[in-house]
C-alpha cells in the first residue's frame, strides 16, 4: 500500500479562521513532508519531519504550524492566513530523509482558498 | 541554492513517437535522482528512480550522466495518456535545506 491520504480535499477559509490540514500514511515511512504548490509551478518544500522531529523549516511564516503527533500522522495548523496563501498543499512521505530511500509518495493534496 | 533545470516545453509530440527530455543539476554532491509525473490539478506521482547504470520500465528509460550532470527520460511509443508535466527531482547528500530540489517541470502534450 503506497497510499498517503489527506483531508480535507478542499478548504475555504477566511483570514481570521483557524483550520488544520491532516495527512496520514501507513507505509512505515519515517520522513514526512509538507509542500505548497501554486498553479503551473513545482511543489515548494515547506517542512520536513524525520522520525517525528522537525528537520527542515524552509523559512515558512509562523501562520503555518506543523505538528507530527506520531509516525503516521502529520498536521498543518493554519491561522491568520493571507489570500496569497491560497494553493494546493501536498503531503508526502518517504522511507527516510538523510540516508537512502528517498522515493516520495504524495497525497492528493488539499486545495486551499483564503478569502 | 542548488539548481535543477528543465526545459519547460511544451513538447508537442504525435502519438506513437519517441520523445526525450533532460534535466541538469548544478551540484555534483548529488545522491538520488527521480522522475515524477504530474497531471493537471493532481499530485505528483513517482514515475521512476534513476540509477547510475540507467534503468528501464516498459516504454520509459532513464539515464544518469554524472560527468555532465544531467539525467534524461526517454518515452517510446508515446500514448495520449503520457500527456503530463514531468518533474525532475534531485536529492543531495545530507539533510540540509537544499537536500531535495524539484525542477520546474517539462510539459508534454501527446497529439492524436
Predicted confidence pLDDT, tens digits, chain B (112 residues): 568 999 999 999 999 999 999 999 987 777 789 999 999 999 999 999 998 889 999 999 999 999 999 999 999 999 999 999 999 998 876 655 556 789 999 999 999 9
- The grid coordinates of residue B91 equal 536529492
Do B98 and B52 form a contact (C-beta atoms < 8 A)?
Answer: no
The number of residues making up chain A comes to: 115
Stretch A33-44: mean pLDDT: 94
| DSSP-derived secondary structure letter, A17 | -
The residue with cell 520536513 is A48
Q: Which residues of B touch A (CB under 8 A)?
A: 31-32, 34, 41-46, 49, 87, 89, 91, 94-97, 99-100, 102-105
| DSSP-derived secondary structure letter, B33 | E
Do A68 and A60 form a contact (C-beta atoms < 8 A)?
Answer: no
How many residue contacts between A and B have a Cβ separation below 8 Å?
Answer: 49
pLDDT (0 to 100) of residue B99: 65
For A10, the enclosing helix (H) or strand (E) is strand A10-13
Amino acid at each position: 500500500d503506497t497510499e498517503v491520504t489527506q483531508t480535507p480535499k478542499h478548504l475555504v477559509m477566511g483570514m481570521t479562521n483557524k483550520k488544520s490540514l491532516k495527512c496520514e500514511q501507513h507505509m512505515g515511512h519515517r520522513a514526512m513532508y509538507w509542500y505548497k504548490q501554486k498553479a503551473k509551478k513545482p511543489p515548494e518544500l515547506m517542512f520536513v519531519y524525520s522520525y517525528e522531529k522537525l528537520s527542515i523549516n524552509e523559512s515558512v511564516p509562523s501562520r503555518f504550524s506543523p505538528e507530527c503527533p506520531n509516525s503516521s500522522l502529520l498536521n498543518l495548523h493554519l491561522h491568520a492566513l493571507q489570500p496569497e496563501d491560497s494553493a494546493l498543499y501536498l503531503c508526502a512521505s518517504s522511507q527516510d530523509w538523510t540516508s537512502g530511500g528517498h522515493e516520495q509518495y504524495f497525497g492528493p493534496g488539499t486545495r486551499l482558498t483564503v478569502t | 541554492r542548488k539548481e535543477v533545470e528543465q526545459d519547460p516545453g511544451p513538447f508537442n509530440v504525435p502519438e506513437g513517437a519517441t520523445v526525450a527530455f533532460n534535466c541538469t543539476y548544478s551540484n555534483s554532491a548529488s545522491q538520488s535522482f527521480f522522475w515524477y509525473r504530474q497531471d493537471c490539478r493532481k499530485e505528483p506521482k513517482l514515475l521512476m528512480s534513476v540509477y547510475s547504470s540507467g534503468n528501464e520500465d516498459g516504454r520509459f528509460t532513464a539515464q544518469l550522466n554524472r560527468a555532465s550532470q544531467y539525467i534524461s527520460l526517454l518515452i517510446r511509443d508515446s500514448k495520449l495518456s503520457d500527456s503530463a508535466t514531468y518533474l525532475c527531482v534531485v536529492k543531495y547528500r545530507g539533510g540540509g535545506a537544499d537536500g531535495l530540489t524539484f525542477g520546474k517541470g517539462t510539459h508534454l502534450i501527446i497529439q492524436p
